[in-house]
Amino acid sequence: MHQEHIADRIGQWIMTTPSPGTEFLASGVSYQDVYALANSLRKSLGKQEGVVCVCSSDQALIAASILAALAEGFSLVLPHAFSDPVLRELQNTFEVRTAITDEPESLPAFLNPAQPERVADSSFNHPLRIDPDQDFLYFFTGGSTDAPKMWPKTPENLFSEAFYHSRKWNLSSEDVILATVPPHHIYGFLFTVLVPFVASAAVVPEVVTFPEEIRRAMARYAPSIFVSVPVHYKMFQKSPISGQSPRLALSSAGMLDERDAACFYRQTGTRVIEIYGSTETGGIASRDRVFGDSVLVPFELLDWKIVRDQLEVRSPFISPACAKDAEGFFQTGDRAKPAGDKGFILLGRADGVIKVGGRRIDLHEVQDKLRRIHGVEDAVALAFSLENGRENEIRALVQARQDIQDIREQAQGLLEPSAIPRRIYVVERIPTSSTGKYDREKVESLLTDEAIHPGPDRPA
């Protein structure tokens, strides 16, 4: 019944063009232009079979690709990078032969470019030709832990979430969205392509990442909604963004420090709402970080339960690749505890619990307490197996303004002895990916490179 309902809503949406002149990109690209691009893609691709790669960060072209795929029945993949090795791997995985692009000269020779032309025909009277529960659009995790993993999403997954967020945050044609996260990430895709498109809102075409870029974009476009990630909110502690007041600020892709949320609120008067979820699950819950809310309130479309301290969820947003139980619940891998009758509090990842000296240690708790130390801006803690393979030691990379000994002395007052990192390295900035998650490969390299860090930093 729900699939029939969402299919009807998608079908009505793709055939309903917003009023003439309504901007999709705040640089002057209208919704009519996007529908015209979609018509051009339909003609250039023909009756495409299999999976088509979208090698572009242009939100209008990505939106047009979605329209064309829905009308013609083929699937899409958004690669996490446009490099030859990544595209070659996609070719081997899906037998991808065609790539939608606005820069055909940059494609490797083994891919055929599908470059849309701007045509006058912006009418789009094409019925939906894809099942709501079919694999439709493939995303990748950010690569912050191990290699990037691919997750399929169905039209039901994507549009159920897009319609929900559009309604929850009251988006309309009056809104302009500025984002610091690229559209190949599920969070960036939702809030710079699909959510604004279903709400007839406008999107700033540039993906800005540095404070000065953000200030210029805010001054130029006066966005009503700011979409960002924790690492970018942290920058405003040192580089203020005062004078701008979007009506809504969102954060996702990691836990937002309440100090960073409070700083943004002091500078803009805008409260930051943190969205908890993942590529595979979609959005799960939200909380207001400005006033230090620890309770996550689940979204209304979602059912949840906690089984043996682990959070399980059931929602139309969850990828079909996720293993579910007989009732449709997916075990997230996050530990949690109930908080009243409204929500839950996260306790860290289930796979973040290790043993040190026979004691169970939660790496997320170690990170959280290191971040409480005065002068520490951020911290990441990892476990490394010792030579016998039966024991672990904790190492931490700390972004801070003081020396290691000072950090260690303060850590002794916050952590039990076995939880204090055996090695602590201070860096100017912890490496992150474009989506604001820790770059695990680079972090591990810094924590194991004896040439850079001669000798272990050992507890006294």
**188 within a domain of the structure (yes/no):** no
3-state SS, one letter per residue, for 357-423: CCEEEEHHHHHHHHHCCCCEEEEEEEEEECCCCCCEEEEEEEEECCCHHHHHHHHCCCCCHHHCCCE
Whole-model pTM?
0.80
Residues 322 and 429 in one domain: no
**Model confidence band, residue 363 (pLDDT cutoffs 50, 70, 90):** confident
**Helical residues (DSSP H) of 110-248, grouped into ranges:** 155-168, 186-189, 195-199, 211-221, 230-235
- Shared domain for 322 and 364, answered yes or no, is no
Q: Are residues 219 and 309 in the same domain?
A: yes
Q: Say yes or no: 392 and 322 in one domain.
A: no
Structure confidence at residue 357 (pLDDT) = 66
Q: What is the pLDDT of residue 428?
A: 87
Q: Looking at per-residue confidence, does 364 or 391 come out higher?
A: 364
| pLDDT at residue 144 in the model | 38
Q: What one-character-per-residue DSSP string does 256-273 give? A: PPHHHHHHHHHHHS-PEE
> What pLDDT does residue 277 have?
92
Tell me: do 291 and 436 sit in the same domain: no
What is the C-alpha R_g of the chain? 23
Amino acid, single-letter form, for residue 202: A
Dihedral (CA of 31, 226, 66, 86) sign: positive
Q: What pLDDT does residue 319 have? A: 94
CA 63 to CA 76: how far, in whole Å?
Answer: 12
Look at residue 219 and tell me whether its pLDDT is greater than 80: yes
Q: Residue 322: what pLDDT?
A: 93
The answer to whether residues 130 and 220 belong to one domain is: no
Is residue 189, in this structure, part of any structural domain at all?
no
Give yes or no: residues 282 and 339 share one domain: yes
Closest CA to 435 of 200, 163, 159, 232: 232
Please check whether residue 121 lies inside any domain of the structure: yes
Sign of CA pseudo-dihedral 11, 195, 346, 434: positive
pLDDT at residue number 121: 65
In a domain, 55, yes or no: yes
Domain membership of residue 381 as a residue range = 357-448
Tell me the CATH number at 100. 3.40.50.980
Looking at per-residue pLDDT, the higher value among 353 and 280 belongs to 280
Pairing of strands 392-400, 376-385: antiparallel
CA 7 → CA 10, 60, 109, 299, distances in Å?
5, 23, 37, 21
DSSP state of 346: E
Top mean-pLDDT range of 64-73, 139-148, 154-163: 154-163
Q: What confidence tier does 20 reach under pLDDT thresholds 50, 70, 90? A: low
Torsion 427-432-436-437 (CA) sign: negative
- pLDDT value for 17: 66
From 350, 374, 403, the end of a domain falls on: 350
pLDDT of residue 459: 37
Closest CA to 75 of 53, 97, 47, 108: 53
The confidence score (pLDDT) of residue 2 equals 54
Least confident of 94-103, 126-135, 266-275: 126-135
Instruction: Provide the Cα torsion 360, 362, 366, 371; round to 10°.
Output: -160
Helix (H) or strand (E) holding 295: none
Same domain, 129 and 270: no
CATH of the domain at 219: 3.40.50.12780
Q: Which residues contact 267 (CB under 8 A, 6 or more apart)?
A: 236, 240, 241, 242
Alpha carbon separation from 335 to 217, 344, 427 (Å, rounded): 39, 10, 30
What pLDDT was estimated at residue 18? 67
Question: 111 pLDDT band (50/70/90 cuts)?
Answer: confident
Q: CA-CA distance, 364 to 394, in Å (whole number)?
A: 12
pLDDT given at position 143: 43
Top pLDDT among 20 and 246 is at 246
Q: Is residue 195 part of a domain?
A: no
pLDDT reported for residue 313: 96
Q: Where are the alpha helices (DSSP H) in 241-332?
A: 258-268
319 and 283 co-located in one domain: yes
What pLDDT is attached to residue 165? 96
Number of domains, the chain? 3
Cα–Cα nearest to 14, from 203, 198, 153, 168: 198
How far is it, in rounded angstroms, from Cα 157 to Cα 135? 10
What whole-number distance in Å separates Cα of residue 202 and Cα of residue 217? 14
Separation between Cα atoms, residue 73 and residue 70, nearest integer Å: 5
* Whether residue 454 has pLDDT greater than 50: no
Q: What is the pLDDT of the chain when averaged over all its residues?
A: 84
Whether 338 and 254 share a structural domain: yes
Give the residue-averaged pLDDT of 108-112.
Answer: 84
Confidence (pLDDT) at 147: 60
Of the residues 325, 350, 375, the one at which a domain ends: 350
Instruction: Read off the pLDDT of residues 376-397 as tens digits, 9 standing for 90 and up.
Output: 888 898 888 765 455 678 899 9
Listed ranges 298-302, 441-445, 448-452; the one with the highest mean pLDDT: 298-302
- Mean pLDDT for 28-33 is 88
CATH (domain of 378): 3.30.300.30
Tell me the average pLDDT across 408-436.
Answer: 85
Residue 171 lies in a domain: no
Find out whether 312 and 335 touch, Cβ atoms under 8 Å. no
State the pLDDT at residue 64. Answer: 92
Q: How far is CA 310 from CA 1, 206, 227, in A?
A: 30, 39, 29
- Complete DSSP assignment for 84-136: HHHHHHHHHHH---EEEES-GGGS-TTSEEE-----S---------S-TTS--
Percent of the chain with pLDDT over 90: 35
197 Cβ neighbours under 8 A, 6+ residues apart: 24, 31, 34, 63, 66, 162
For 216-329, strand residue ranges (E) read 225-228, 248-251, 272-278, 282-288, 297-298, 303-307, 310-314
Does a structural domain hold residue 141? yes
